[in-house]
Amino acid sequence: MEDDHRREDEWFRENEKQLLQAAQVARLRRERERAARKAASELAKLRDMHLMKCPKCGHDLKEQELEGIKVDRCTHCEGVFFDAGELDQIFAKKAAERRGFFRRLAGI
Ligand SMILES: [Zn+2]
């Protein structure tokens, strides 16, 4: 009889241990999901705050197309900014087109 009790206790302890482990795994998964949602939300917030804003003075940037290349020019300090790969596009142009691009960039 005492053996039956001990076996029953052991079974309950093992069962509870497994239930606790499953609950812990589920909690860790929810924690990771919350962290991922928070990171995505903070990235979106940062993007909204800085998208098309001048990195020097914070005013609006305006897109301007010069010789087929879109550059961003600040509406306040007149700084000019390139996206990744745009400089490569400029260097890939023929000399005359490249000169034309820089003349238009300088407004001459
Ligand atoms: Zn600016």
State in Å, rounded, how far the first CA of the chain is from the last one. Answer: 101
Could you tell me the distance, in angstroms and rounded to a whole number, from the CA of residue 46 to the centre of ligand 1?
A: 18
Could you tell me the distance, in angstroms and rounded to a whole number, from the CA of residue 83 to the centre of ligand 1?
A: 16
Closest CA to 50 of 22, 77, 28, 72: 72
Could you tell me the distance, in angstroms and rounded to a whole number, from the CA of residue 56 to the centre of ligand 1?
A: 5
Q: Which two tokens stand for residue 80?
A: 């000019």
Could you tell me the distance, in angstroms and rounded to a whole number, from the CA of residue 39 to the centre of ligand 1?
A: 28
30 neighbors 50 (Cβ within 8 angstroms): no
Could you tell me the distance, in angstroms and rounded to a whole number, from the CA of residue 23 to the centre of ligand 1?
A: 52
Could you tell me the distance, in angstroms and rounded to a whole number, from the CA of residue 72 to the centre of ligand 1?
A: 10
* Buried b / exposed e along 15-26 (16+ C-beta atoms within 10 A): eeeeeeeeeeee
107 pLDDT band, cuts 50/70/90, is confident
pLDDT at 1: 64
β-pairing verdict for 80-81 and 69-74 = antiparallel
| Mean of per-residue pLDDT scores for the chain | 93
The reported pTM is 0.63
Could you tell me the distance, in angstroms and rounded to a whole number, from the CA of residue 27 to the centre of ligand 1?
A: 46
Rounded-to-integer distance, Cα 64 and Cα 40, Å:
30
Show the CA angle centred on residue 83, arms to residues 78 and 87, nearest 5°: 90
pLDDT digits (tens, 9 = 90+) for 60-97: 999 999 888 999 999 999 999 999 999 999 989 899 89
